[in-house]
Amino acid sequence: MPGEHGGEYFQLSDAGRQQRGVPRIDTHIYARENGWAINALATLYAVTEKQDYLNDAIRAANWIIAHRALPSGGFRHDEKDPVGPYLGDTLFMGRAFLTLYAVTADRAWLGRAEEAVRFISTNFKADIGYITSAGAAELKSKPQVDENVGVTRLANLLHQYTNKVEYTQIAEHAMRFLSAPGVADRRGFLVGGILLADREIGAAPLHLAIVGRKSDPAARALFAAALKQPVTYKRVEWWDKDEGALPNPDVQYPELKQAAAFLCTDRSCSAPIFSPDKISSLVRRPPEG
């Protein structure tokens, strides 16, 4: 029943629920929730290599771009936003785009992620942190912990992929809110997000780079193995020299006669890795610098 707690309803059997009636289904299509789903589907593709998951993620991303996009890289929540736009929609679509770039090495998705983060900086920036709505001023929107955790982590990882200082500045601005006295007090599970943001902004991610043509099955196998590494905070890149330099050309990779992978730290890179099976063992014991 509308307005009543549904705990008892969901404890019923399927037959019992059918007898009581089916709850109202929200058929609206929201940018934020699709960002969550796209990110999850792309991640699931990375660890399973099942193309259907990636196809679904790309189809959803293209639909949101076609039907929820705002000028300059932002997104509406629904077809109409009376007091929007809202930070969450652009934030989680930006995160989805960066994940799509990571799992496809298609630079168009990286460009989308950059546009989203710049839109966030332009439209949601407060004295410290980023507010949840850029709509009606009378709402007096305030920064939210979970959203600023998301901004910190997205902008920081985007900096790792591009080496653009502006994204570091965006991440640090969000982190100023998260580190302000009293923000983390009595926040319960949200403290975990703050700790993750703090850890990531202060360290380089796991960095795996594949060198080889994208038409080469051997390079594809190495890329798939890199994506499967069970590390959330990572930077996986695929350099095909026909596409020009990588967006962050901080490492000069050798041109070899066969496809190879490299595991890099902030000080050095491994010797070329030619077997996908060897990537996992090296990730567990990174090269010494």
Same domain, residue pair 193 and 57: yes
Within its chain, how far is the Cα of 49 from the centroid? 18
Which two tokens mark 99? 């994940």
Which of 175, 201, 227 corresponds to the end of one domain?
201
Give a yes or no: residue 7 inside a domain. Answer: no
Q: Which of 23-27, 154-158, 274-278 has the lowest mean pLDDT?
A: 23-27
Give a yes or no: residue 82 inside a domain. Answer: yes
pLDDT digits (tens, 9 = 90+) for 121-149: 999 999 999 999 987 555 668 899 999 99
Whether 110 and 247 have beta carbons less than 8 Å apart is answered as yes
Whether 103 and 152 have beta carbons less than 8 Å apart is answered as no
Q: What is the pLDDT of residue 289?
A: 46
For 163, the domain range is 31-201
pLDDT digits (tens, 9 = 90+) for 7-33: 888 899 999 989 988 888 889 999 999
Give a yes or no: residue 6 inside a domain. Answer: no
Q: What is the pLDDT of residue 255?
A: 84
Who wins on pLDDT, 188 or 150?
A: 150
Specify the number of domains making up the chain. 2
Give a yes or no: residue 11 inside a domain. Answer: no
Distance from C-alpha of 269 to C-alpha of 262, rounded to nearest angstrom: 6
Other Cβ atoms less than 10 A from the Cβ of 100: the count is 25
Q: What is the pLDDT of residue 7?
A: 85
Give a yes or no: residue 1 inside a domain. Answer: no
Which two tokens mark 256? 């070899």
Same domain, residue pair 182 and 211: no
- For residue 234, the surrounding DSSP H or E stretch is strand 234-239
